[in-house]
Chain A
Amino acid sequence: MSRTLLINPTAMEAGLLAAAKARALEGAREAAFEAFARTGLPHKRMEGWKWTDLRAALRDDIAAAEPDNDVIAPSVFGGVKPFEITIMNGAAEWSGAPQGVRIATTRDAALSPLVEHHPLAGLAAAMADEAIEISIAEGAKIDRPILLRRIAGPGAIHARARLSLGAGAAATVIESFDGVGRYFSNSLTEASLGPSASLARFILQDGSEEGVETAVFAATLDAASSFSQVALFLGAKVARIETHIAAKGERAKIDLKSASALSGARHADQTSLILHEAEGATTRQAHKSALKDRANGVFQGKFHVARGAQRTDARMRANALLLSDFAEADHKPELEIYADNVECAHGSTAGALDEDALFYMRQRGLDEDQARALLIEAFLGETFSEIAHPGVQNVFHSRLAHWLKGTK
């Protein structure tokens, strides 16, 4: 085990260091763990973590989660008849595989620049016992959505997954993040899309009030491939969902839509980094958040346009709706541009519900609660308006309606 660089580790950090020591990490896992040990749990004095202080949220130690054999309730996505892979406390279970899909697990902890430099990616790579690998064959069009159902029970969980799409392949992946009790669930998912491949990813994140959910997703896109993502974040004590996309081939298409619907003292952080490394990429990103009570919604989006990535067309939008005197919205829409023939723009707004619109609806006979709910639904619902799969779209809309009724 390499030297520990952390000064004054918190109980949680000390617990993670001890767990790593007990496992006598070697080779790639040791190198990956270094990425974590250099900084420890990211905290607010680190760039990119100003508004999500993981060290503060995870001060007390959370022991490693035990395997759980409880019967799991059906998924909210059951209606779309997905091919289901359950990842319960980090352990993946499935049976069979659709035509064109190969699923396996590996104990190989492959390194990547992300794993070697990102504290959470490094932690997941070092500590996950095995990674689940999902490969979609060249040219295969998988109509049936693949559901990655991540369920966190009490405890600390580290999980890793890999997803690859061969040239011209197309697939839909739904990821749900649920949890009960007090947990720290940290996952790393790496994806690669071959030329002209297409991946639609859906995320429904719904954690517990004591849970901390961190998920890093990183994908590389080959020429003419397309990646779309639609997400609904209902938060947790702290939820940080990161999306890293590197457009390495020309004419890649990237479309990211996300909505945060937060209440209570919940916190959700959508952080994304889109690297445009080749010519002609088109990126659209829109994030919306509605914040009740003491909730905190964070949006950090960055477009990087590398030297030579000419004709990049990238637009980003973040809108926050503050619905209480104690809610907080934090936005950092960032551009880093090294090519001149590009069109890049971002916009950000924060404010309350439009009084005029409320007044109009009250005049039409709606009571105040109905009017507010309708406006919020219209605001957030736009995020799901272009989902091509009707079943998936229904799940998002009904989950949102459920939130609006105030049950969470």
Chain B
Amino acid sequence: MSEIKETIAKETIETAKALETYKYGFTTDIESERAPKGLTEETIRFISAKKEEPEWMLEWRLDAFRRWLKMDEPTWAMVHYPPIDYQDHYYYAAPKTGAKYKSLDDVPPEIIADFERLGIPLKEAEVLLGVEGAGESPGEARTHPNVAVDAVFDSVSVATTFQKELQKAGVIFMSISEAIREHPELVRKYIGSVVPVSDNFFATLNTAVFSDGTFVYVPEGVRCPMELSTYFRINEAKTGQFERTLIVAAKGAYVSYLEGCTAPMRDENQLHAAVVELVAEDDAEIKYSTVQNWYPGDKEGRGGIYNFVTKRADCRGRNSKVSWTQVETGSAITWKYPSCILKGDNSQGEFYSIAITNNHQQADTGTKMIHLGRNTKSRIIAKGISAGKSNSTYRGLVSVHRNAKGARNFTQCDSLLIGAECGAHTVPYIESKNPSAILEHEATTSRLSEDQLFYCQQRGLSEEEAVALLVNGFCRDVLQELPMEFAVEAQKLVSVSLEGSVG
């Protein structure tokens, strides 16, 4: 652990306390360019034109939009919110200065300051912002060794680091708009192949209006030399963020990808509807880690992000593996089910999740493991922690199809309730159509043990510290799946999120 990292971690705690539990609640004053409010075919043409997209892309978006108009918002999740007026949002906002800079002086200082506050390694600003002439010796500027970063600010990607180093390895890591321009054939081949256009209400909306996101392609036999990371940031008021991430690991490739997100504190609710598609070919492995820390709303439940996300991995190759790890502490509403389609024989899917809700937050999250191939394996560890007046639901599907001979699943969902006004729910769907499949599921719900709390407090910990320690212990199975870069921060986040939940 580098010194800087420790300093950042320390700062995280301090700032969080100062800001009453949400440290990313600032807004950045920069001029931005927005599409007219509301959602019509014109909005979609505007976005597509801004992105200088080819015709097929525009057609794809318009097709999605027309389908979306006929779809109904899903109501089966255990979340409640007033109806969303989809015409009262901006669907595109970009920092006015654009995404590419000649020199560091061109970069609005607000953006740099913003990213510094986010703890993104922007001290290497020149490299990060793709300033001409920089990036020859990125190592000198590194604060997080071996992490390449793509930063998405409102609707556009503003910076991607370490492009050149990655190019040497043959890895493509760039914003999806760039990828559509530079690698149209690759994008066209894979985009929408995992999450089809009319998959669900929010995914279809995303397909129509997504403005940016990340594209990763790891070619055959390549082990990506560094962790890849994207930071998402909603800044503008009344703006929805719709990013689209597509990661392809070709035969025998390996990549580890980290995702973080924050937003300012605002009284109104903001919309976030992302789509993430992962494709793993033969023997490929993708590790996808998320620390989701969108603004959760205030203590009375005002404001906060509505987070409606579709994440799916297609393990289409033999022996492929996808592992989802998520730490969900933010958002007023979370609606998210990272899934694995285990198509290739011997393919494996994993889902490790911590979902923490406090105050008035609502989270309905889980996974789907669809076993299609022979000897496919899946493992689900979900830990839900509810405090305050919040509700947390695990909703999952394990489905073993007729031909999935020798399929194996293990699921464990544990819920922890802190306080008498919160709720914790478990809704697993388990389907088996093959006698040789072995499926195991267990779930428990309990509260923090008073004996353990008492013991910790006797040893001199405050009540809050004791709770944080016990909760971290409860989450340990998941925390240890996170890459080092995220693990420490996530651990702190777990404690910070629960502040004010006891006593």
Contact = CB atoms under 8 A, between A and B. Distances in A.
Interface of A: 47, 50-51, 307-308, 310, 320, 322-352
Interface string B419-434: 1111111111111111
A164 B434 CA distance: 44
A268 to B, nearest CB: 16
A50 B428 CA distance: 13
B428 A349 contact: no
A327 B432 CA distance: 8
B493 to A, nearest CB: 22
B417 A337 contact: yes
A333 B418 contact: no
Contact of B427 (A51, A322, A332, A345): A332
B430 A348 contact: yes
Given A346-B442, A348-B439, A350-B439, A335 B425 contact: yes
8 contacts: A323-B435, A328-B431, A330-B432, A334-B425, A335-B424, A340-B417, A341-B420, A346-B441
Given A307-B421, A327-B435, A350-B439, A337 B430 contact: no
B428 A350 contact: no
Contacts of B441: 331, 333, 346-349
B436 interface: yes
A331 B426 contact: no
A340 B447 contact: yes
Contacts of B49: none
Contact of A337 (B76, B415, B432): B415
Given A307-B420, A342-B445, A334 B426 contact: yes
A337 B423 contact: yes
B186 interface: no
Interface of B is mostly: strand
Contacts of A47: 76
Nearest to A299: B430
Interface string B432-452: 111111111111111100000
- Nearest 3 pairs between A and B by C-beta? A322-B435, A340-B417, A348-B441
A346 B415 CA distance: 12
Interface residues of B, number: 36
A347 B414 CA distance: 12
Which of B417, B432, B440, B441 has the largest count of A CB atoms less than 10 A from its CB? Answer: B432
Nearest to A50: B429
Contact of A330 (B426, B431, B440): B431
B427 A334 contact: yes
A269 to B, nearest CB: 13
A17 B432 CA distance: 37
Nearest to A332: B429
A233 B430 CA distance: 20
Contacts of B421: 307
Nearest to B433: A328
Interface string B4-44: 00000000000000000000000000000000000000000
Contacts of A351: 435, 437-439
B378 to A, nearest CB: 13
Contact of B446 (A51, A320, A322, A343): A343
Given A340-B420, A340-B447, A352 B435 contact: yes
Nearest to B393: A336
A347 to B, nearest CB: 5
Contacts of B402: 325-326
Contacts of B419: 340
Contacts of A330: 429-432
Contacts of A327: 433, 435
Contact of A325 (B428, B434, B438): B434
B445 A345 contact: yes
Contacts of A332: 427-430
A307 B439 CA distance: 32
B498 to A, nearest CB: 14
A331 B432 CA distance: 9
B439 A345 contact: no
Contacts of B432: 320, 322, 328-330, 350
B453 to A, nearest CB: 13
Which of B418, B438, B446 has the largest count of A CB atoms less than 10 A from its CB? Answer: B446
B73 to A, nearest CB: 15
A348 B380 CA distance: 14
Which of A51, A335, A341, A347 has the largest count of B CB atoms less than 10 A from its CB? Answer: A335
B445 A344 contact: yes
B420 A337 contact: no
B434 to A, nearest CB: 7
Contacts of A347: 440-443
Given A335-B425, A351-B438, A341 B447 contact: yes
Contacts of B417: 337, 339-340, 342
Contacts of A307: 420-421
B380 to A, nearest CB: 12
A274 B399 CA distance: 26
A348 B445 CA distance: 15
A335 B445 contact: yes
